[in-house]
Structure 1
Amino acid sequence: MGETRTRMLVNNNALKLPCELSSLIRRYDLNYYVSAVPYSKTIGWEDWGEDFIYFKFEASEFPAVQSYSVNNRGT
């Protein structure tokens, strides 16, 4: 994966979410974007390598507020 893939908006209206998650998103009026990114674009996960899938989370109203997550491709 070379470049950042399309960002997906996550909010109470965008996805069918589990009830517990949906209620938290609705309660706090959360809106954020999630995108798969190459590991070289991450902060804090750079040494894990290309065998994983990396996700970038951005607050929709405050794009400077970012977080990253990593998942095993095999699961």
Structure 2
Amino acid sequence: MIVTSLNEAQRTVRTEESADLLIDTGIDSLAERLYGSGGWIRAGAIPDCAAAPAGVPRPTTLYCQRSGAAAPTR
């Protein structure tokens, strides 16, 4: 489901000249590995921005994908 949604968003961005995608996820999460292997560009990190399930603040990694970028290949 998540991969399907990301693929749909990427297709939309490739057709829009002014649209970029920006996503975030907790550092060291499964999603971070997915985004990194899927052609997303690591844009930075924000300390204590995300909450772990127990409510403890965790750093967040930001990823972006520019409009017109080619789809990642597998």
TM category (shorter chain) comes to: under 0.3
- Between Structure 1 and Structure 2, which shows a larger proportion of helix residues? 2
The TM-score normalised by the length of structure 2 is 0.27
